[in-house]
Amino acid sequence: MANSVPGSLELSVLLAVARLGEGSYGLTIRDDVSERTGHDYSVGAVYTTLQRLEEKRLVSSRISDPVPIRGGRSRREFKVTAAGDRALRDARRVAASVWAGVGANNRPEPAR
Amino acid sequence: MKPPRFAEVLLESLGAEASFLEPLLGDLAERFALRVERDGVGAARRWYYRESVRATPHLLGDWRRSLRAPDIRHLAGVMLSSFFFTMTLLFLAAELAAGAASAMEFSPRALSAPLLPALWVLIGVTCTVMGGYIAAWLDRRAPLVSAVALGLTWSCSATAIGGLTRGNGALAWYWVCAPVILAVGPIVGGVLRLRAVARTGGLR
């Protein structure tokens, strides 16, 4: 199962797909991730990450109808799978666990 | 307003699978259209070329991931075919030149010292550019990859031969120039082929 654990960019992209919902595609995902992380990712980097997530079965994709503004090309729309949902819940639980006991000033939180 | 066709053909020539390439090209085209409205054509074109460069390693990565044994055999076949094609053309050109020189009672030895190396460099550049053009012409899936692979193979072979024979009496400039010309020439040839493709339509 270690292979299905998303890495840092994978987690950001998976969260973007979850946030944007069905119909999210490369550009919208890239914009969302770039805005939130402050890093200008290329569309290629986002598609490589989405491909890895799809190989891990954390997202699935479908091809839309051709869109004129895209030169008649289709969109590849992504959505989070049940396995992706589980991976996000696990990631949230692990993040909460590893941050536990660390205060806002990055010092140990006083015991209650 | 459409994105620069040459840049699109360059991206198509890197051998990525359609399922990876088509949505990516569509996304770039969609954002290009928005940028034309917002920033003007020139800025949008510059943005497109910059994004194309940034997308290149990812498209090459997809090509590498999707590489199977038949693709490797195909690539080797393209490289060998373009090598023999180029050598045949070179041989025919040399025969013609020799025939013309003998008809004019001219000996290449009569050429002055700087002219003879320049002639060799010119022949080398022409042949390698032609080789790259032929490789890109023969490979419809990943033409630029074939041209680059041909250049790297030729360049590495020349370097290895130079190293093994320790120059074999040839001048130092030759062993410096040859690998560079052999590597860059086919890439230039491949790009020239893609320019021609971009003018007439596209690869896919």
Condensed to tens digits (0 to 9), the pLDDT of residues B85-134 reads 888 988 888 888 888 878 877 776 666 666 767 777 788 889 899 999 99
pTM summary value: 0.84
- CA nearest to A30 within chain B: B27
Contacts of A23 in chain B (CB under 8 A): none
* Residues B24, A71: C-beta atoms closer than 8 Å: no
Which residue in the set B3, B27, B59 is minimally distant from A26, CB to CB? B27
- CA nearest to B19 within chain A: A76
pLDDT at B98: 80
Which residue in the set A44, A67, A71 is minimally distant from B24, CB to CB? A44
Q: pLDDT category, B27, cuts 50, 70, 90? A: very high
* Residues A44, B23: C-beta atoms closer than 8 Å: no
Where in chain B are the domains? 5-65, 69-200
The CATH number assigned to the domain with range A2-99 reads 1.10.10.10
User: Which of B8, B24, B32, B52 is the best residue to mutate to test the A interface, defined by the most A CB atoms within 10 Å of its own CB?
Assistant: B24
- Average pLDDT of chain B? 88
- Say how far apart CA B188 and CA B134 lie, in whole Å: 11
**What backbone phi and psi angles, to 5 degrees, belong to B2?**
-95, 155
Residue-wise pLDDT for A51-63, tens only, equals 999 999 999 999 9
Write the ipTM: 0.86
Contacts of B24 in chain A (CB under 8 A): 26, 43-44, 47
DSSP H/E element including A78: strand A76-80
Structure tokens at B70: 């038949």
Strand, coil or helix: B60: helix
* Residues B3, A51: C-beta atoms closer than 8 Å: no
Q: Which residues pair with A61 in a beta bridge?
A: A78
**Helices and strands (H and E) in chain A: how many:** 4, 2
Where in chain A are the domains? 2-99
Query: By C-alpha distance, which of B145, B109, B131 is closest to B182?
Result: B131
Residue-wise pLDDT for B30-46, tens only, equals 999 999 999 999 999 99
The answer, yes or no, to whether residue A1 has pLDDT greater than 60, is no
DSSP H/E element including A60: strand A59-63
Contacts of B38 in chain A (CB under 8 A): none
